[in-house]
């Protein structure tokens, strides 16, 4: 049974895929389906509860929460994919070089990884953001530059195992150079665990961005983000529950979806890992 067949037989993985695909489609179609301007202020509709006119109610400036949720989905997806893309690129390159060459190169790279792992990731991100202007681009870069260590270790472990396989020895005997062996033969066979890690990493990036925006050092208003919407909602939680409930549920469902999909991909790649 192939990878796709095993993945589609896993109901939890399918649920995760449906959630991820659903939010992706909503983010793409947001300009078409959004009923209002996300920044439009309406003083006559301040803190209106969920209704037919405003599905998720309005905030303390009269802005439609449903519209802002849709635009916030796009922000979260951008942060997740770009940040994980940066992490995968750095982690894959360092892990490949470390695992293939070994020796002093391996020692230097892995000691650097160990040093980076000594710092709590979230506090490291807070420290870096404190010296930078809060923006979505800086958030993407900082999350990506502080989350590549696990991928490095995964790729290194795969390279240590694969570089002694017969197909690699045969290619090396034919005179292939290191770049061709690394990128053309070993790396394609080492990407399975990276795919799983990247899927789970998107969930972590979305959660981190939401936390940073909640603290006021992430995506800045008036740009809608689920995190800064939560911050806005906490001030009127007693009289406008919907301002915190809907963004919180969106974060929960998104993170859950990516985690379910990641676990499903892991089990589909290697069914022996299923417990």
Residue 62: inside a domain, yes or no?
no
Q: What is the rounded CA–CA span in Å between residue 26 and residue 208?
A: 21
Residue 243 has pLDDT above 70, yes or no: yes
Residue 65: inside a domain, yes or no?
no
Task: With residue 170 as reference, give the H or E element that holds it.
Answer: helix 166-173
Q: Residue-wise over 79-116: b if at least 16 C-beta within 10 A, else e? A: bbbbbbbbbbebbbbbbbbbbbeeeeebeebbeebeeb
Residue 160: inside a domain, yes or no?
yes
CATH number at residue 11: 1.10.3720.10
Confidence of residue 270 (pLDDT cuts 50, 70, 90): low
- CA neighbours closer than 13 Å in the CB half-sphere of residue 4: 0
Mind listing the pLDDT tens digit for each residue in 12-40? 889 999 999 999 999 889 988 888 888 88
Residue 192: inside a domain, yes or no?
yes
Residue 271 has pLDDT above 60, yes or no: no
Residue 63: inside a domain, yes or no?
no
- Please give the tally of structural domains in the chain: 1
The residue segments making up the domain with residue 127 are: 3-28+75-273
Residue 35: inside a domain, yes or no?
no
Q: In the prediction, which pLDDT does 142 show? A: 87
Residue 89 has pLDDT above 90, yes or no: yes
Query: Which pTM does this prediction carry?
Result: 0.86
As a whole number, mean pLDDT of residues 47-58 equals 88
Q: Is residue 241 a contact partner of residue 7, using CB atoms and an 8 Å limit?
A: no
Residue 39: inside a domain, yes or no?
no
Q: Give the chain's end-to-end CA distance (angstroms, integer).
A: 19
Distances (CA, A) of 67 to 54, 130, 250: 9, 30, 13
Mind listing the pLDDT tens digit for each residue in 142-166? 889 888 999 999 999 999 888 888 8
Residue 132: inside a domain, yes or no?
yes
Mean pLDDT of the residues in the chain = 87
């Amino acid at each position: 049974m192939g990878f796709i067949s095993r993945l589609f037989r896993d109901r939890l993985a399918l649920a995760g895929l449906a959630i991820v695909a659903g939010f992706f489609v909503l983010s793409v179609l947001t300009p078409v389906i959004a009923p209002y301007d996300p920044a439009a202020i309406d003083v006559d509709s301040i803190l209106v509860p969920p209704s037919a006119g405003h599905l998720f109610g309005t905030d303390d400036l009269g802005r439609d929460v449903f519209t802002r949720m849709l635009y916030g989905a796009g922000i979260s997806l951008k942060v997740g994919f770009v940040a994980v893309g940066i992490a995968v690129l750095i982690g894959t390159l360092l892990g490949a070089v470390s695992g293939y060459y070994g020796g002093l190169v391996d020692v230097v790279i892995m000691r650097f990884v160990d040093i980076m792992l000594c710092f709590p990731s979230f506090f490291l991100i807070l420290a870096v953001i404190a010296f930078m202007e809060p923006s979505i681009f800086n958030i993407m870069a900082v999350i990506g530059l502080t989350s590549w260590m696990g991928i490095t270790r995964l790729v290194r472990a795969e390279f240590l195992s694969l570089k002694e396989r017969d197909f690699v020895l045969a290619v090396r005997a034919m005179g292939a150079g290191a770049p061709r062996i690394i990128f053309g033969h070993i790396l394609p066979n080492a990407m399975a665990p990276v795919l799983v890690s990247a899927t789970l990493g998107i969930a972590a990036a979305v959660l981190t961005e939401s936390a940073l925006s909640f603290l006021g050092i992430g995506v800045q208003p008036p740009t809608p983000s689920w995190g800064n919407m939560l911050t806005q909602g906490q001030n009127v939680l007693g009289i406008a529950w919907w301002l915190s409930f809907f963004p919180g549920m969106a974060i929960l469902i998104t993170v859950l979806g990516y985690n379910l999909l990641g676990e499903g991909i892991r089990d589909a790649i290697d069914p022996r890992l299923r417990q």
